[in-house]
Amino acid sequence: MARTIHNLSCRACVIILVAEVLTGCLLTAGCAKGHRQAEVATAKQAAGPKAGSSAIQITVLYDNYTLSEGFKTGWGFSCIITGTEKCILFDAGANADLLLENMDKLQLRAQDVDLVVISHDHGDHTGGLYSFLGRHSNALVYLPSTASAGLVQGVESRGAKVQMPDNALQICEGVHLTDSTFKGNVEQSLVLDTTEGLVVVTGCAHPGIVEIVKKAKQMLNKDVYLVFGGFHLLDLSASQVQSIIQQFRELGVQKVGASHCTGDRAIQLFKEAYREDFVPIGVGRISIPGKL
Ligand SMILES: [Zn+2]
Ligand SMILES: [Zn+2]
């Protein structure tokens, strides 16, 4: 079901959701290089792309939800981050055809991706990876340290380079991977260190969304602006979800974009608690005006 974006009562909201069907902003949809070229052409900026010179844009390619009609949805998650020094694909959804179809509709090119980050080795986050690499294998792929031998071999056999970090790591200017090791779980999350605060991007959050946010905060010692992705709260009672919302408040999380495996009830509770600071997430484009 399409998620509407009618709740943006505050025009000055720092996060501006952009439904490309409404704004026609596809001209700026390319990865960093193309995006910057468009910016240079339209804003008459000094020649030569520079990290941090573009607005960060997050395009969700794969999710259980969509921001506008016309995109297919499925259980899984994937997004592309542009406007950063390196163009990053985060997770690859479950179904390769769906991933690539949405990528095409959103006019993003696999060839522009520099880095691939896989949060954890579950099929709803890795399913489209090989087909993506079939289009473009000249990317560095960050796999979780516990990725199966089959996944590592599958990526390498398609010509991509693999890294499996054990510790927190900066992967390009202003973009970090969290330390992926938690009690009983391994999952890495992306953290963008923006001028608005930290933006934390999660896959399924199996180690616990609160634990991930804590790690992100500790890693960079900064306030958290936005947390989005899968929170994995499907099996929690309403009071357990309320407790997590309370912990988010105590951690100072300003905005929340719960999606994917969070569960409809938990998403609704986050929406009611965060009101205008709830950021609907689904297949489509999200702009973050903060820079790195
Ligand atoms: Zn998972
Ligand atoms: Zn998942």
CA of 203, nearest ligand number: 2
Q: Which residue has the higher pLDDT, 220 or 20?
A: 220
Tell how far the Cα of 182 is from the centroid of ligand 1, in angstroms. Answer: 14
Q: Is the dihedral of CA 239, 190, 258, 126 positive or negative?
A: negative
The encoded tokens of residue 163 equal 């890294």
Ligand nearest to the CA of 92: 2
pLDDT range class, residue 241, cuts 50, 70, 90: very high
| Residue 69 confidence class, pLDDT cut points 50, 70, 90 | very high
Q: How many CB atoms lie within 10 A of CB 42?
A: 10
Distance (Å) from CA 204 to ligand 1 centroid:
5
CA–centroid distance, residue 275 to ligand 2 (Å):
25
Instruction: Give me ligand 2 centre to Cα 139, in Å.
Output: 23
Please say if the pLDDT value at position 7 is more than 60. Answer: no
Sequence ranges of the domains in the chain: 16-288
Exposed/middle/buried for residue 23 (C-beta within 10 Å: 0-12, 13-18, 19+): middle
What is the 169 CA–ligand 1 centroid distance (Å)? 21
Contacts of 281 (CB under 8 A, 6+ apart): 60, 63, 65, 67, 228, 229, 257, 258, 259, 260
Distance 7 CA to ligand 1 centre (A): 29
Å from CA of 39 to ligand 1 middle: 37
Q: How far apart are CA 206 and CA 186, in angstroms?
A: 8
Q: Each residue of 27-64: pLDDT tens digit?
A: 333 444 443 333 333 333 333 334 455 689 999 999 99
How far is ligand 1, taken at its centre, from the CA of residue 64, in Å? 13
pLDDT tens sequence across 167-179: 999 999 999 999 9
For residue 48, the CA-to-ligand 1 centroid distance in Å is 40
In the reported structure, the alpha carbon of residue 25 is separated from the centroid of ligand 1 by a whole-number distance in angstroms of 32
Q: What percentage of residues in the chain have a pLDDT greater than 90?
A: 76
C-alpha span between 116 and 240 (Å, rounded): 33
Identify the CATH assignment for 16-288 out of 3.90.550.10, 3.60.15.10, 3.30.460.10, 3.40.50.720. Answer: 3.60.15.10
Which region among 22-26, 86-90, 126-130, 195-199 has the lowest average model confidence (pLDDT)? 22-26
Summary mean pLDDT of the chain: 85
Dist. CA 153 → ligand 1 center (Å): 20
Query: 53 alpha carbon to ligand 1 midpoint, in Å?
Result: 34
3 state DSSP class of 233: coil
Residues 6+ apart with CB under 8 A from 49: 32, 33, 36, 37, 40
Tokens for 187, please give them: 């999952």
- Cα-to-centroid distance, 206 and ligand 1 (Å): 6
Distance 119 CA to ligand 1 centre (A): 9
Tell me the CA–centroid distance for residue 59 and ligand 2, in Å. 17
Average pLDDT over residues 153-182: 96
Give the ligand with the smallest distance to the CA of 121.
1
First to last CA, the chain: 33
Give the contacts of 157 (CB within 8 A, at least 6 positions apart): none
